[in-house]
């Protein structure tokens, strides 16, 4: 495993970071608690020291399971990354920006983006309780909220850093303009954004800005929610409640399938899976600090960690990029 410093902070994170969205269950067709906790343990046992989660993942369930999984572990050797700003329980009292309706246990739940100072402080305390810790290593805004001034949100992060409740403050899903505005109040640690072989838009302006300003980039959905594993083309069936049924429709699936077939020999030459090859490629892209990889069981977690066990030559990277250009 490699470890990288996040932006302008003192945080040293594992290049492959455990992404805990799927173990929350909601939007992923459910989950198995034992398998989820085993996945976290397997990650820690194989060099993955950083875990990224959010209150919204499973409506608190993901954070709770992480807290349970870390019981008895040395907290100083684990970096906890969580978020704030998605509210679903009505505590926003009609404020904020409506986002979407989520399904949970057969119920439809309205979710709002709400990043007021008061709400951030409230959410942090709830996360600390669920995670069974007294500080968060990186607290991130989950999605921009058009109803709250960016300066107010950033001031809340500054306050929490001064209080010692968080070690660093970052954002997720921020555009370049929003980053510029946030930087007027706080030196951001990072921006967590969607990035994959099939989604490289941030290379145009966000990554150059992040490099110039020493801001970390945390890449999420590097596997495009499982599409780049290749399994979808062999199995093809997802549970009806799985959001990926609609998500995958944005891609030219035939071209994606052809691309994966082209790069499979590279993976085989490394004794690696397609998933591991895709993860390793992502970690080697300019400006990418760490890469999130989800796992629902110990086997998947081990495979993710082992993606850092091999390297890719300039020639191999050029071959992959050439094949990508044909999608």
pLDDT at position 133 over 60: yes
pLDDT at position 28 over 50: no
Q: What is the mean pLDDT of the chain?
A: 93
pLDDT at position 26 over 60: no
* Tokens standing for residue 274: 């397609």
* Tokens standing for residue 116: 């007021």
Higher-scoring residue by pLDDT: 23, 31: 23
Q: What is the pLDDT of residue 253?
A: 83
Sign of the Cα torsion 127, 289, 250, 255 reads negative
Alpha-carbon Rg for the chain, nearest whole angstrom, is: 19
Q: What is the pLDDT of residue 94?
A: 83
Higher-scoring residue by pLDDT: 89, 77: 77
Q: What is the pLDDT of residues 237-258, one digit of tens each?
A: 666 666 677 788 788 888 989 9
How many structural domains comprise the chain?
A: 1
Backbone angles phi, psi at 157, to 5 degrees: -65, -45
Residue 66 lies in domain = 3-324
Average confidence (pLDDT) over 80-91: 93
Residues with catalytic function? 57
Name the pTM for this structure: 0.93
Lowest mean pLDDT segment, chosen from 32-36, 211-215, 220-224, 303-307 = 32-36
Phi-psi map region of 28: left, alpha, beta (phi>0 left; psi -120 to 50 alpha): alpha
- Could you tell me what percent of the chain has a pLDDT over 70? 94
Average confidence (pLDDT) over 34-42: 93
CATH of the domain at 96: 3.20.20.100
Q: What is the pLDDT of residue 239?
A: 67
Average confidence (pLDDT) over 101-111: 83
């Amino acid at each position: 495993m490699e470890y990288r410093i996040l932006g302008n902070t003192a945080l040293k994170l594992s290049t492959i970071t455990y992404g805990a969205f799927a173990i929350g269950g909601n939007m992923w067709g459910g989950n198995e608690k034992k398998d989820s906790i085993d996945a976290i343990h397997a990650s820690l046992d194989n060099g993955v020291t950083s875990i990224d989660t959010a209150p919204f993942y499973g409506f608190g369930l993901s954070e709770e399971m992480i807290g349970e999984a870390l019981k008895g572990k040395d907290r100083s050797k684990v970096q906890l990354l969580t978020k704030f700003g998605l509210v679903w329980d009505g505590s926003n009292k009609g404020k904020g920006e409506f986002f979407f309706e989520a399904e949970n246990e057969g119920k439809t739940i309205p979710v709002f983006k709400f990043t007021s100072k008061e709400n951030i402080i409230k959410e942090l305390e709830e996360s600390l309780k669920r995670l069974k810790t007294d500080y968060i290593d990186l607290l991130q805004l989950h999605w921009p909220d058009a109803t709250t001034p960016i300066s107010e949100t950033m001031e809340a992060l500054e306050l929490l850093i001064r209080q010692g409740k968080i070690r660093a403050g970052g954002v997720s899903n921020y555009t370049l303009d929003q980053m510029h505005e946030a930087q007027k109040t706080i030196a951001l640690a990072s921006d967590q954004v969607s990035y994959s072989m099939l989604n490289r838009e941030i290379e145009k302006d966000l990554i150059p800005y992040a490099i110039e300003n020493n801001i970390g980039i945390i890449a999420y959905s590097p596997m495009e929610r499982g599409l780049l594993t290749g399994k979808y083309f062999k199995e093809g069936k997802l549970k009806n409640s799985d959001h990926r049924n609609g998500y995958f429709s944005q891609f030219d699936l035939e071209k994606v399938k052809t691309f994966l077939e082209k790069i499979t020999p590279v993976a085989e030459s490394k004794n690696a899976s397609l998933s591991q090859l895709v993860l390793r490629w992502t970690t080697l892209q300019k400006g990418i600090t760490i890469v999130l990889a989800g796992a629902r069981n110990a086997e998947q977690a081990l495979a993710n960690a082992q993606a850092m066990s091999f390297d890719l030559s300039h020639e191999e990277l050029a071959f992959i990029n050439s094949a990508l250009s044909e999608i």
